[in-house]
Amino acid sequence: MYKNTLKRIASLVLKYKFSFMLSLICAFLYTLSSLVIPLITGKAIDFVISEGDVDFQSLLRMLFFIALLALLSFLSSYLMARLNNRISYLVSRRMRDLSFSKLSKLPLSYLDSHQTGDTLSRIVSDIDNLSDGLILGFSQLFTGIMTILGTLILLFNLSWILASVVLLVTPLSFFVASFISSRTNRMYRRMAEDRARQTECIDEMVRMDDEVKIYHGKRKAEEIFDKINEDYAASSFKATFFSSITNPSTRFVNSVVYALTALTGALLAINGRISVGLMTSALSYANQYTKPFNEITGVIAEFQNAIVSASRVFSLLDEKEESTEGEVEISSSEGEVAFDDVSFSYNKDQKLIENFSFKALSGRHVAIVGPTGAGKTTIINLLMRFYDADKGRILLDGKDITSINRQSVRRLFGMVLQDTYIRNATVRENILMGRSFSDEDVIKAARLSHAEGFIERLPNGYDTVLSDESSALSQGERQLLSIARIMLSLPPILILDEATSSIDTRTELLIQNSFSHLMQGRTTFSVAHRLSTIENADTILVMKDGAVIEMGDHKELLARKGFYYELYRSQFA
């Protein structure tokens, strides 16, 4: 998995080849200038301590070259940092685009079975961690490798004995890096999991704040958060501990290398094997050789965190998408819907709907009633292809809906749900929901849904900005906006899931009249708990434990004095 994640990150980085190659060139120039400066410095020292007069002309020439190389080092380092930042942020932006696009392609079953906080953590925190790791990696990994190779070449050129001393201590650096790397990877993975749990907990508590206060759950909520926070603190501490020992460990290795090089170089200088200036250059190279190990091992902690975070994002991107299934594109429908021996369950170990068969003729109003958990909403989910049947067929105008493009099927439906979603946008945009209609059409839809009254009372009318957390609208007004959406599109098939549950009785009567007009010539499926709203339905399906136990119109079902009769009496007793 580790290698596969690295390969995928590399493929994303290589999409920006020009910036990447330019960054490598800058890294090469930075490393080259940094390596040549100690060599010239050593020669300059030899000009100062040579026998006889100091060669000021040569000394000034060396200082001039050192100044030019220092300027080149600064410019190449600055440009490299800018390029690395650009690549890092472009990669993170692309991953966020891919992740956000992926969300719209995932089946409802994925969103139902995964915590919201974990998904948010992958798209926000994990991609941030990846971005930070890439910046450090680009800035220090390339230059570090080049510096190690360059210093070795120059050291061997100066003195093979000093180069051998440096090489002998190299395995110690690799051991330190390997020891820390093997532990930080595991620690950062645990930390990422705990961070996701914490995000989920915070998101849940914010959304349920009113329920927590009503049921005096503040103390319990704090206990839950404290436990998760303690776990996160513990895993963060362990990850930070192992990453923090990197610097002192590598500094110890650096000191050992420097001391051995200085001792060996001094002995060689005393015996006249090398000059003092060359020994000074060798000491600088010994320090430069070990410094990248210090930087690279320092990057390991961040890079390990970045790899772990990237793997979590890639696992989201690798999730199986909702298949379109079906090459047939349809733009209109007669609205005839049939269930043919359909069986379905969310959990394969727990049966829900079995051998369900029913036919809704075009233009008919079909109401679905029953206790909680009977399978009413499941029927709607199957109709909309949020889920596909495990067995049997669902037919639309005689065609199996699995042979029709999934999006094509959904365009034929208009839905009003009990829980209304409000976008962070204007009232007009909330009604349009990305569709193209004129302002006149929007106003007409608002008027038909009886939403026009409260919209005109808003500060900026149709241009008032709303949000899903906004308290500017009551639950009933939010539902009126949802009804306006369906009034705007006029689809051939309607789905009303407790569409008027949060609206007062007077407004409900007005909307029912609008629905009566809207439902003419359209097939309508309505899920209802308030049985008074579906008394005029052509057919009522009474469900219990995933099965249709009664079927007929309101008068027929009352006359039978069965389960529907008991439900109806319980509401008017």
Q: What is the pLDDT of residues 327-342, one digit of tens each?
A: 677 777 788 888 888 8
- Please state the rounded mean pLDDT for residues 513-529: 78
d(CA 468, CA 475): 11
Which of 62-76, 118-132, 137-151 tops mean pLDDT?
Answer: 62-76
pLDDT computed for residue 103 by the predictor: 82
As a residue count, the chain comes to: 573
Whole-model pTM above 0.75? no
What secondary structure does DSSP assign to 444-501, as a single string?
A: HHHHHTT-HHHHHHSTTGGG-EE-TT-SSS-HHHHHHHHHHHHHHH--SEEEEESTTT
Neighbouring C-beta atoms of residue 571, cutoff 10 Å: 10
d(CA 235, CA 191): 5
Q: Of 412, 411, 394, which is closest to residue 403 (Cα–Cα)?
A: 394
Listed range (71-75, 277-281, 357-361) with the worst mean pLDDT: 277-281
Q: Of 392, 412, 191, which is closest to residue 304 (Cα–Cα)?
A: 191
The tens digit of pLDDT for each residue in 389-422 reads 888 888 888 888 888 887 788 888 888 777 777 8
DSSP label of 433: T
- Please state the rounded mean pLDDT for residues 549-571: 85
pLDDT computed for residue 231 by the predictor: 85
Which of 5-9, 64-68, 138-142 tops mean pLDDT?
Answer: 64-68
Q: Of 45, 39, 36, 44, which is closest to residue 72 (Cα–Cα)?
A: 36
pLDDT exceeds cutoff 80 at 255: no
Sign for the pseudo-dihedral over CA of 568, 569, 571, 572: positive
Burial, 340: exposed, middle or buried (Cβ in 10 Å; 0-12, 13-18, 19+)?
middle
Please list the alpha-helical segments (H only) found in 271-375.
276-317
d(CA 114, CA 103): 12
Q: What percent of the chain has pLDDT over 90?
A: 1
The tens digit of pLDDT for each residue in 136-169 reads 676 677 787 888 888 888 878 877 887 787 777 7
Residue 75's pLDDT band, with cuts at 50, 70 and 90, is very high
Tokens of 56: 């000021």
Reported as half-sphere exposure (CB side, CA atoms, 13 A), residue 396 has a value of 26
Distance of CA 264 to the CA centre of its chain: 55
All residues at 6 or more sequence positions from 343 whose CB lies less than 8 Å from its CB, including other chains: 353, 354, 355, 356, 389, 390, 391, 392
What is the Rg, in whole angstroms, of the alpha carbon atoms belonging to the chain?
35
Q: Are 80 and 139 in contact (CB under 8 A)?
A: yes
Mean per-residue pLDDT of the chain: 79
Strand partners, 343: 391
d(CA 437, CA 424): 19
What secondary structure does DSSP assign to 83-140, as a single string?
A: HHHHHHHHHHHHHHHHHHHHHHHS-HHHHHHS-HHHHHHIIIIIHHHHHHHHHHHHHH
Q: Of 186, 187, 195, which is closest to residue 118 (Cα–Cα)?
A: 195
Reported as half-sphere exposure (CB side, CA atoms, 13 A), residue 147 has a value of 26
- Please state the rounded mean pLDDT for residues 529-549: 82
- Please state the rounded mean pLDDT for residues 433-452: 85
* Cα pseudo-dihedral 205, 206, 212, 213, rounded to 10: 150
pLDDT computed for residue 373 by the predictor: 75
pLDDT exceeds cutoff 60 at 471: no
pLDDT computed for residue 502 by the predictor: 59
- Please state the rounded mean pLDDT for residues 25-43: 84
Burial, 469: exposed, middle or buried (Cβ in 10 Å; 0-12, 13-18, 19+)?
exposed
Listed range (165-169, 265-269, 505-509) with the worst mean pLDDT: 505-509
Tokens of 301: 């902690």
